[in-house]
A and B are shown apart, each in its own frame.
Chain A
Amino acid sequence: MPNLLPARATQQRLAIKKVASGKSFWGHARYVLSDNPFTLVAAGLFTLFVLMAVIGPWIAPYDPLATNVGPTLQPPSASHWFGTDSLGRDILSRVVVATRIDFVIALSAVLASFVIGGLIGACAGYFGGWLDRIVIRLTDMVMSFPLFVLAMGIVAALGNSVFNIIIATAVVNLPFYIRVARTEVNVRREAGFVEAARLAGNGDARILLLHLIPNAMPPMMVQVSLNMGWAILNAAGLSFIGLGVSPPAAEWGIMVAEGATYIISGEWWVALFPGAVLMLAVFTFNLLGDGLRDLIDPRRRT
């Protein structure tokens, strides 16, 4: 859920909204949620996923790494709800435990690019000059590469590991956050409240951190949710071409990539269940992103 810091400027905005629409923040939230039922569903699913990520290893019926807990390649049955894979591992346990890895990848990558990108962009937009020009150039250069191609190159260069996948995803997402933060800060650089803060004796750092950046956050936050969904798909694509996480780790993408070869021979469950859960997770992130956008900035509602 968006963490709106109680910066003075934001409070001003809320106060204005309150006066204008006669509703509180939560009243507004309730209105948005009721208007678009999917957001509610998405929020619920998201909570479920987070729960699974946290308590997953404890509720999994079998050890996700243990081979031959059941006969190999068995279709879903009473003892193995999602069936077993080619090494006799329980697919349900693996899918549940994979939630943690995938969420960690998605969250870390996006958080890293959000924080780092936000800071860089804000500084560039605030200080301007040569810093701004360099940042713009670098951002443009990185943005010239199709996202997946760049991620592919980075993971291939650094090696297959969860950490490197996170780095690659973070790098690929940086430009967007840099740009947005820069624009938002740039626009408000000369605003009244900033002048006031400066006159009051606040240093640049305080102005940036306490006043400008919080205002830049809302448009960035919307993208966070969408980027998390994309991060998971990215990891899956990398797994397919052999640049994913190392075995025997359970990660949705690599389970789908491995299971894909069994579709034609009829063992549909090996790919379908991780694929369905992956799709549901990304779906949730996408819908959540929509909902966040509606909540935070109704003008940008799509």
Chain B
Amino acid sequence: MLLIAKRLAGALPNLFGIVLITFLLTRALPGDPAAFFAGGAGSQEAVEQVREKLGLNRSLPEQFWIYVKDLARGDLGQALSTGQPVGAEILSRLPASLELVLASLLFSVSIAIPLGIAAARRPNSWIDHACRLVTTAGVSLPTFFTGLLLAYVFYFVLGWAPSPIGRLDPYLSPPATVTGLYTLDALIAGDVKLFFAALRQMVLPVLTLGIFVLAPLARMTRASMLSVLSADFIRTARASGLSTTSVLVRYALRNALLPVVTTLGMVFSFLLGMSVIVEKVFAWPGVGSFALEALVASDYAPVQGFVLTMAVLYTLLNLAIDLLYVVIDPRVRLGS
């Protein structure tokens, strides 16, 4: 318990630093939001008025203090281009991004781990080399290229994949919001047809994102599996006559998965970052595409909110992984 509390407390200064960096970064964005929103024929006085309204003519430390105060109240500011409160926008769009990222994680884990295990069982065989080649190829192409290529081949040419038109076919209406994840909500509502419709729309973007992170996962699985399989206790288990499956699954895998869990953190970071691009390619209404539009318009509040959200998510995830380690690895629990 104390350990968990300590870890949580350790993350706080981090969060402050994130807020500071985010603020500085977005205030450094070029462009004058005041001029942008003064509209087409804004004269200099009109621009000054808007600047006053937006509070942009105060000193930087003052602006930062106001920002922190608002943040403490949960107020992330207003998106100038839509006039919507940023917090609400991000909350409404976050489930879409999370659904994508989580599904991609699930997909790549379910492919990379078996692949890694297979490669570890027969090191330097053709399976091993094939695994290395395939996963490295996946991580060597820019995500937008993979995405557009997949859309071209599987949607446009073959017609197998559904249209890259967003989360749901335009003729269907989304399920009642419980979690915000269409697939889960559809299941909760008992609407199987909707569940599959939402799932279908996810195929291409999930494939695009997932292919990119196969490599680190497969590689780490292979490496740690290899080192575990050469350990003494495995030899003992085999010598005692236990079947290969039970040796693999009950003994080796559990131990081998520990470093893989650490890699999950890095993988998640990749996925969060690349989701911005995938959302643009597949018209996925997540926080990434929201931030991208805002970035181009020098609309700093959404960009700030987005960067902050991503960083906080990532920090929380790393915390979760740390805590997971404490729970599942007795050495960490007892050792420290």
* Complex alpha-carbon distance, A253 and B141, angstroms: 10
Which residues in B have their C-beta under 8 angstroms from that of A148? 270, 273-274, 276-277
Which residues in A have their C-beta under 8 angstroms from that of B149? 263
Nearest Cβ on chain B to A111's Cβ, whole angstroms: 21
* Complex alpha-carbon distance, A243 and B296, angstroms: 9
Which residue, B137, B139, B140, B143, has most C-beta atoms of chain A within 10 A?
B140
* Complex alpha-carbon distance, A156 and B24, angstroms: 13
A146 touches B269 (CB 8 A): yes
From B30, B140, B270, B314, contact of A279 by CB (8 A): B140
Secondary structure at the B interface, as helix, strand, loop or mixed, is helix
Q: Would you give the 0/1 interface string for B134-156, flagging 1 where the beta carbon is closer than 8 Å to chain A?
A: 00110111111100110010001
Q: Would you give the 0/1 interface string for A290-302, flagging 1 where the beta carbon is closer than 8 Å to chain B?
A: 1000000000111
Which residues in B have their C-beta under 8 angstroms from that of A300? 223
Closest residue on chain B to residue A302 by CB atoms: B223
From A152, A253, A263, A264, contact of B276 by CB (8 A): A152
Which residues in A have their C-beta under 8 angstroms from that of B303? 153, 156
* Complex alpha-carbon distance, A197 and B133, angstroms: 46
B30 touches A144 (CB 8 A): no
A137 touches B13 (CB 8 A): yes
Q: Would you give the 0/1 interface string for A249-267, flagging 1 where the beta carbon is closer than 8 Å to chain B?
A: 0000100110010011000
Interface residues on B, range: 35 or more
B140 touches A156 (CB 8 A): no
A35 touches B314 (CB 8 A): no
Closest residue on chain A to residue B312 by CB atoms: A144
Which residues in B have their C-beta under 8 angstroms from that of A157? 25-26, 28-30
State whether the Cβ of B167 lies closer than 8 Å to any Cβ in chain A: no
**Given contact pairs A242-B296, A263-B148, A302 touches B273 in the complex (Cβ within 8 A):** no
**Given contact pairs A145-B310, A257-B144, A38 touches B132 in the complex (Cβ within 8 A):** yes
State whether the Cβ of A117 lies closer than 8 Å to any Cβ in chain B: no
From A141, A253, A263, contact of B18 by CB (8 A): A141
Which residues in B have their C-beta under 8 angstroms from that of A36? 124
* Complex alpha-carbon distance, A233 and B215, angstroms: 15
Which residues of A117-154 are within 8 A (CB) of B?
A: 137-138, 140-142, 144-150, 152-154
- What would be 27 A-B contacts, judged by CB atoms less than 8 Å apart? A36-B124, A140-B14, A141-B14, A141-B21, A144-B311, A145-B18, A145-B21, A146-B270, A146-B310, A147-B269, A148-B274, A149-B276, A153-B25, A156-B303, A157-B25, A157-B26, A158-B28, A159-B30, A237-B143, A237-B274, A237-B277, A241-B276, A253-B142, A256-B142, A278-B141, A278-B142, A302-B222
Given contact pairs A282-B141, A302-B226, a sample of 11 additional A-B residue pairs in the complex whose CB atoms are under 8 Å apart: A36-B124, A144-B315, A148-B276, A148-B277, A237-B274, A256-B142, A260-B145, A263-B149, A286-B136, A286-B140, A290-B132
